[in-house]
Amino acid sequence: MRVYIKTYGCQMNESDTETMAGILSHEGFEIVDDVESADVVILNTCVVRQKSQDKYHSALGQLVKLKKQGKIKLIGIAGCGSNLEGERLLQLGADFVIGSRSIVEIANVLKRAVEGEKIVYLEDRTCDIVADLPKLRSTKHHAWITIIHGCNRFCTYCIVPYVRGRERSRPIQDVLKEIEGLTQQGVIEVTFLGQNVDAYGKDLKDGTSLAKLIEETSEFDRIKRIWFLTSYPTDITDELIDVVANNPKAAKSFHIPVQSGSDRILKLMNRRYTSAQFLKLVEKIRSKVQDVAISSDIIVGFPTESEEDYLQSVELVRQARFERLNLAVYSPRPGTVAAKYYPDDVPYSVKVKRLNELLNLQKQINAELNRSYLNRTVELFVEGKTKDGSHYGRDIRNKIVIFTAEKPLQPGECVRVKIDRVTAGPVYGKMI
């Protein structure tokens, strides 16, 4: 039986897809790359915004049609949408629904569905997500590794704690065992994942921390670069900053969502810092980690966001000068405090205007920052080829570098590139 898994949402879902594909393939199912060649289609879903939810609902509608035409046999829903909608997804035409913390059961759930059963399986099985699980990774030299599941923060706009559950860190020994296995498969780069990846270890209460994990990971000769995503501002410790500063294998990159520049809005969001504290953190990281890249997320149009609040976000962006900024229009999510108690009172046109203005400002900042890349030589691992035959990869600051080379290159090869052209997006150069 051929299975196609379509992934929506964040890197955590990408990683879960790789685990589900690994388990299924281990159990004799064939994993394919498109709907056309599949008997079973699984949508690994995201509900962080209404738009994300609409996307998989429309895909589900299409799949129901294909099933009626006999082109596919079964439809499965996995990921955060399963936890939010459960049973309702069966009514919309899914044959099975499996939760974001239940992925280890995917093969059994699918086998039962093949027998004709309709299933909603949402049990918390995070304890069973361990190093030994087979994974079918999409890249050979790089691996996603979820080290902490769930979130305890309950920002008032966010649905993640409701669909991903509470924070649970994997034991460090288990993570290291996974990395050891990965090195034998040719992996040289790892990205540690968590909604609050910097909270890693706190719940274990045995001194485990992200800083320690990075240090221990760097002991593997074959591991050349170590990334981590996403950091909650107040969970970043001095120890972590020092490790990133001093460990040559640690990528010089922090993704730290700020969400707003207005202290009044930050408070309503239940983010536990002020914009001044955030900027101080940025400054501290920059003073300790040479040439570090800091990226962030901002939500515009949060309930009651006034022009003045918004301008404080603009001011924060001007001051912080992020290397990358993900912008989102506020979207009320069912069950969250904001959706229940705060009116979604910023008109959509105003939200979009604010989003576009910030996008333009960020573009301008990127164009300015990227100028410092001109004539610089960067080292990177080849990730793949662009349509026009150039190669691309990311440098240690997560900058996308597109470059030409005189010989064919394989993904994972380490190359040096001299930058000769920059844009507000990628930078361009030649391999030397």
When asked if residue 80 is in the footprint of ligand F3S (CB under 6 A), the reply is yes
DSSP state of 171: P
State how far the Cα of 214 lies from the Cα of 182, in Å rounded to an integer. 15
Strand order in the sheet with 119-121: 30-31, 2-7, 40-45, 74-79, 96-98, 119-121
Backbone angles phi, psi at 169, to 5 degrees: -85, 145
Q: Does 251 bind ligand SAH (CB under 6 A)?
A: no
Phi, psi for 358 (deg, rounded to 5):
-65, -35
> Which of ligand F3S, ligand SAH, ligand SF4, none has residue 161 at its interface (CB below 5 to 8 Å by kind)?
ligand SF4
| Cα distances (Å, whole numbers) of residue 3 to 18, 106, 144, 283 | 13, 12, 21, 48
Partner touching 333 among ligand F3S, ligand SF4, ligand SAH, none, CB below 5 to 8 Å by kind:
ligand SAH
Residues between 156 and 195 that touch ligand SAH (CB under 6 A): 157-158, 160, 195
> What's the min distance (Å) between Cβ of 151 and ligand SF4?
3
Q: Should residue 196 be labelled a site residue for ligand SF4 when binding is judged by CB under 6 A?
A: yes
Q: Is 275 in the site for ligand SAH (CB under 6 A)?
A: no
Burial of 1 (0-12, 13-18, 19+ CB in 10 A): middle
**Residue 46 contact, options ligand SAH, ligand SF4, ligand F3S, none, Cβ 5-8 Å cut-off depending on partner type:** ligand F3S
**How big is the site for ligand SF4, counted in residues (CB under 6 A)?**
10
Task: Report how far residue 423's alpha carbon sits from residue 416's, in angstroms, rounded to the nearest whole number.
Answer: 19
Q: Give the C-alpha separation, 395 to 387, whole Å.
A: 20
The pairing of strands 253-255 and 225-229 is: unpaired
CB of 423 to ligand SF4, least distance (A): 30
Report the greatest alpha carbon distance in the chain: 62
Q: What are phi and psi of 380, to 5 degrees?
A: -155, 165
9 binds, among ligand SAH, ligand SF4, ligand F3S, none (CB under 5 to 8 A by kind): ligand F3S
Q: Which of 161, 165, 233, 426 binds ligand SF4 (CB under 6 A)?
A: 161
* Distance, CA of 160 to CA of 166 (rounded, Å): 10
Residue choice 49, 101, 142, 153 for contact with ligand SF4 (CB under 6 A): 153
Are 13 and 44 in contact by the 8 Å Cβ rule? The answer is yes
Q: If contact means CB under 5 to 8 A according to the sort of partner, which of ligand F3S, ligand SF4, ligand SAH, none does residue 154 touch? A: ligand SF4
Residue 330 interacting partner from ligand SF4, ligand SAH, ligand F3S, none (CB closer than 5 to 8 Å by kind)? ligand SAH
- Which residues within the stretch 315-344 sit at the binding site for ligand SAH (CB under 6 A)? 328, 330-331, 333
Q: What is the DSSP string of 314-378?
A: HHHHHHH--SEEEEEE----TTSHHHHHS---S-HHHHHHHHHHHHHHHHHHHHHHHGGGTT-EE
Nearer to ligand F3S, 58 or 246 (CB): 58
Stretch that binds ligand SF4, among 157-165, 280-288, 307-315, 342-350 (CB under 6 A): 157-165
| Residue 89 interacting with ligand F3S (CB under 6 A) | no
Task: Report the distance separating Cα 231 and Cα 254, nearest Å.
Answer: 7
Binding mask 154-193 for ligand F3S (x = CB under 6 A): ------x--xx-----------------------------
The helix/strand/coil state of 300 is: strand
Nearer to ligand F3S by C-beta: 8 or 342? 8
Please, which residue, 217 or 313, has the CB nearer to ligand SAH? 313
83 touching ligand SF4, by CB under 6 A: no
Phi-psi category of 93—alpha, beta or left, where left has phi over 0 and alpha has psi -120 to 50?
left
- Using CB under 6 A as the binding rule, the residues of this chain from 47 to 66 that contact ligand F3S are 47-48
CA distances in angstroms from 290 to 210, 241, 275, listed in the order given: 20, 11, 23
CB of 160 to ligand F3S, least distance (A): 5
Q: Which residue number, 16 or 395, has a Cβ lying nearer to ligand SF4? A: 16
Q: Going by C-beta distance under 8 Å and a sequence separation of 6 or more, which residues neighbour residue 218?
A: 226, 247, 248, 249, 250
- Tokens 């509470």 belong to 166
- 158 near ligand SF4 (CB under 6 A): yes
| Residue 55: CB atoms within 10 Å | 18
Position 232 contacts ligand SAH (CB under 6 A)? yes
362 touches ligand SAH (CB under 6 A): no
**With CB under 6 A as the contact rule, which of the stretches 46-54, 60-68, 85-93, 374-382 interacts with ligand F3S?**
46-54
Please give the residue ranges that form the binding site for ligand SAH (CB under 6 A). 48-49, 157-158, 160, 195-196, 230, 232, 257, 259, 297, 299, 328, 330-331, 333
Q: Which residues bind ligand SF4 (CB under 6 A)?
A: 151, 153-155, 158, 160-161, 195-196, 232
